[in-house]
Amino acid sequence: MKSTGTVYLVGAGPRDAGLLTLRGAELLARADVVVYDALINGDILALAPPSAEIIYAGKRSGEHAIPQEELNRLLADKARAGKLTPDEMSGGTFTISNMGMLNVENFSAIINPGEGAILAVASTLPQPAVRDAQLVIRQIMKMTLSVDHRLIDGALGAQFINAVKAKLEDLELWKRLSA
């Protein structure tokens, strides 16, 4: 049994099977699970092997077959189920590199060939911070986002990293997730 899996997001533009990349077709042809939305072209879905579990997620405005939170859990569970071997874990578009687990204070990750971006996550360390005009010690984690500017505008990258920061700092979100 495989110990890990990978989730790939494969798209082909506005329902045009001709816009599907060769890599996207290759991934679909060996998929264990395909989660698709209302905009998929039937020719693309036909590339999935007969043994693949096919899951319709809906995703038309205001009309979702599976709520987004449930879809996120479904995809994570499928990845954890270990459907792919290590040599099959390539071809993604985004990587998260966690050197924090190795007590690395800060680092810059290099974008993997063929990918658009990589997020470098360092360890949390006690640091002085100002909170309500008082100097306090807080656990601070450094993150660095590297993007291929041929694909992703730097301003969009900045918006993304600020959104990640906001989610990580949202105490109410963490309370809901841990309940």
* Catalytic residue positions, numbered: 149
Tokens coding 89: 């874990």
- Give 18's DSSP letter: G
Cα distances from 27 to residues 38, 57, 104, 160, in angstroms, run 20, 19, 34, 26
Cβ 81 vs Cβ 60: under 8 Å? no
Pairing of strands 94-98, 33-36: unpaired
Place of tokens 């459907």: 83
Contact residues for 95 (Cβ-Cβ < 8 A; gap 6+): 109, 111, 112, 115, 117, 118, 119
